[in-house]
Amino acid sequence: MSASMHLTTPTGTAIGQEALNALSSALFCTSLQPADMPEPDCVRREVLHMLGTDLTGQCKAQVAQATTAHPSHFASRMAWCRQMILLVFFRAACHVPAQFTQAHSDHQNDEIDSR
């Protein structure tokens, strides 16, 4: 992770791992799901909306609660969130599980075929 990654929000600035954590937590708190196969623009819009409207820290509380209340769901969802954030915001070289890339590819092909 490069230290050049930084994120400025209404509540402060995050650098590197902190930026990844903040963006991943914001995605975690949206209604987007891996099965939705969201487009990058949709992910960006939802994450930035969450960061801009969650000034009371409800998202942070939601993530903390999920950590203890549903640890296996938390782990899998947060892993997806982190991969999506790296892919969408930082275009970092990251491993995206085949089920996500294949499903996304199939979804795009279905859209093309339906035109």
CA separation for the pair 85, 78 (Å, rounded): 10
Q: Is residue 1 part of a domain?
A: no
Q: Is residue 18 part of a domain?
A: yes
pLDDT digits (tens, 9 = 90+) for 15-65: 677 888 889 999 999 999 999 999 999 999 999 999 888 766 888 889 999
Q: Is the pLDDT of residue 103 over 50?
A: no
Q: Is the pLDDT of residue 69 over 80?
A: yes
Question: Facing residues of 9 across strands?
Answer: 12
Q: Is residue 57 part of a domain?
A: yes
Q: Which residue has the higher pLDDT, 93 or 14?
A: 14
pTM of this structure:
0.68
Q: Is residue 40 part of a domain?
A: yes
Q: Is residue 75 part of a domain?
A: yes
Q: What is the pLDDT of residue 90?
A: 78
Q: Which residue has the higher pLDDT, 85 or 101?
A: 85
Q: Is the pLDDT of residue 91 over 90?
A: no
**Into how many domains does the chain fold?**
1
Q: Is the pLDDT of residue 101 over 70?
A: no
Q: What is the pLDDT of residue 3?
A: 42
Label residues 26-65 b or e (16+ Cβ within 10 Å = b): bbbbbebebeebbeeeebbebbeebbeebeeeebeeebee
Q: Is residue 20 part of a domain?
A: yes
Q: Which residue has the higher pLDDT, 49 or 114?
A: 49
